Structure 1
Amino acid sequence: MKIAIIGAGNMGLSFSKSFLKYELIKPENLQLITRNPAKIYKISEEFPKSKISIFSDVEKLDADLIIIAVKPQDFQHVAENFKFKLNEKQMILSIMAGIKIGKIQKLLNHPLVVRAMPNSPTLLGMGITGYTSAEGITFNELMNVERLLNSTGRSVYLENEDLLDGVTALSGSGPAYFYYIVDAMIKAGTQMGIDENLSKLFVKQTMLGAYHLINNSEKNLDDLIKDVASKGGTTEAALKTFEENNFKEILQKGILNAEKRAKELNG
């Protein structure tokens, strides 16, 4: 399989590294396209001994799969200004937030489109990606795409494309929510007189341990909370403050606003 990636940002490069790491593609069969000269230099530094091709512009993409990894706000400009021609057998894989399959098909005048929403832990091969596809793509072609997506973590196929905006809000944007909470906890630690680096250690290990308990325990979240929050204790004092200030509702409202924004990006 030959793959071309349009857009050499973090996600485009993380996909490239995963494909090469797991030998899903030969370096000489990978093309990266970016119009940013600084990115071309950066890519050359990141892949110093690789045989991948790096282009600033292209008229014909000699690839079986073309991954569009540009910002959704830039897609229309890219579609109008890149002069590449697609043949009837080539597939498009979009990892842009919000841009629906129908719009991609219209702007590229091409029917074979898979739409996916990965998240930033793909950089470590620990991401999760929701994806769906247009009609006309065979089962085997879809399995080839899934194999590529799974090299960056896990993937889930969704029959209903509308759910991808929810996936964008939940897991696509989700890492930032955890970083936000972790940052607040670290700063609370420093306010209590704990050294910042030590506070980071306590919070990060707590987050890691809590993840493993969620993943390995048969208990539901309410029971796991009750295991920590004894009556009249310290945890109960914190949780009471969260409830009084509607922390859970605020977090849910933020996620729903992220979904709303994802829908707006389609124009």
Structure 2
Amino acid sequence: MKIAILGAGNMGLSFSKSFLKYELIKPENLHLITRNKSKVSKISEEFPKSKISTFEEIEDLDANLVIIAVKPQDFSYVTDNIHFPFRENQMILSIMAGIKIEKIQTLLKHPLVVRAMPNSPTLLGMGITGYTAAEGISFSQLINIERLLNSTGRSVYLEDENLLDGVTALSGSGPAYFYYIIDAMIKAGIEMGIEENLSQLFVKQTMLGAYHLINNSDKSLEELINDVASKGGTTEAALKMFEESSLKEVLKKGILKAEERAKELNG
């Protein structure tokens, strides 16, 4: 398989590293295209056997799969710089937030489009990606796409493309929500007199342990909360303040706002 990646940023490069790590493609069959000429040298050092180009240099894409890994706001730059038709059997995989399959098909004049929404833990091979596909894409083609996506973590096929905006808001943007909460907890620790490095250690290890408890317990989240929050205790005092401040509702509203923004990106 030959793969071309339009957009050699963090996500495009993390996908590339995963594909190579699991030997899903050979280095010489990888073509990375960047908008930034100044990055060509650095990318070439990371991928010495792969082809590196700028958008202005591409006159054709010799690839079975073309991955669009630019920000949705930069999609017009991609369409402005592709002056050649896609080949009949080429697949397009978009990992842009918000941009729907129909719009990609129309602007690129090509029907074979798969749309996916990964998240940043793909950098460590621990991401999760929701994906869906246009009509006319075969089961075997989808299996090949899934193999590639699974190299970056886990993937889930969705029949309804509209759900991808929700996936964008939930898991695509999701890591930032956890970072936001963790930052608040660390700062609370500092305010209580705990040194910053120690506060970070306590919070990060607590987060890690809590994740493993969720993942390895048959209990519901409510039961797990009740296991920690004894009557009249410290946890109950904190949870009561969260409830009085409608923290859960605020978080839900923020996630729904992210979904709304994802829908707007389609234009």
TM-score (norm 1): 0.98
Structure 1, residues 119-146: CA drift from partner, whole Å, max 9, x if none?
0000000000000000111100000000
Residue of structure 2 equivalent to 1:186: 186
Q: Note the aligned Cα RMSD (angstroms).
A: 0.7
Structure 1, residues 207-254: CA drift from partner, whole Å, max 9, x if none?
000000000000000000000000100000100110000000000000
Residue of structure 2 equivalent to 1:52: 50
Residue of structure 1 equivalent to 2:10: 10
Aligned residue identity for 1:54: I
SS at match of 2:232: coil
Q: CA deviation at 1:34?
A: 1.0
Residue of structure 2 equivalent to 1:89: 89
Aligned residue identity for 1:39: K
Residue of structure 2 equivalent to 1:206: 206
In structure 2, what is the Cα distance between the partners aligned to 1:116 and 1:108?
17
Does residue 148 of structure 1 match 2:141? no
Structure 1, residues 62-83: CA drift from partner, whole Å, max 9, x if none?
0000000001011022112232
In structure 2, what is the Cα distance between the partners aligned to 1:90 and 1:154?
24
Q: CA deviation at 1:45?
A: 3.0
Structure 1, residues 65-112: CA drift from partner, whole Å, max 9, x if none?
000000101102211223243111000000000000000000000000
Counterparts of 1:28-177 in structure 2, within 5 Å, are 28-47=28-47, 50-56=48-54, 57-177=57-177
Q: CA deviation at 1:38?
A: 2.0
In structure 2, what is the Cα distance between the partners aligned to 1:72 and 1:15?
17
In structure 2, what is the Cα distance between the partners aligned to 1:54 and 1:16?
12
Runs of 5+ consecutive residues of structure 1 not aligned to the other structure: none
In structure 2, what is the Cα distance between the partners aligned to 1:165 and 1:155?
16
Runs of 5+ consecutive residues of structure 2 not aligned to the other structure: none
In structure 2, what is the Cα distance between the partners aligned to 1:234 and 1:218?
25
Q: CA deviation at 1:35?
A: 2.2
Q: Percent of counterpart pairs with the same letter? A: 79
Give the conservation status (yes or no) of the 8 Å contact 1:58–1:84: no
Total equivalences in the alignment: 265
In structure 2, what is the Cα distance between the partners aligned to 1:141 and 1:32?
22
Runs of 4+ that moved beyond 4 A = none
Query: Which stretch of structure 1 is more off in the superposition, 69-78 or 256-265?
Result: 69-78
TM-score (norm 2): 0.98
In structure 2, what is the Cα distance between the partners aligned to 1:246 and 1:184?
16
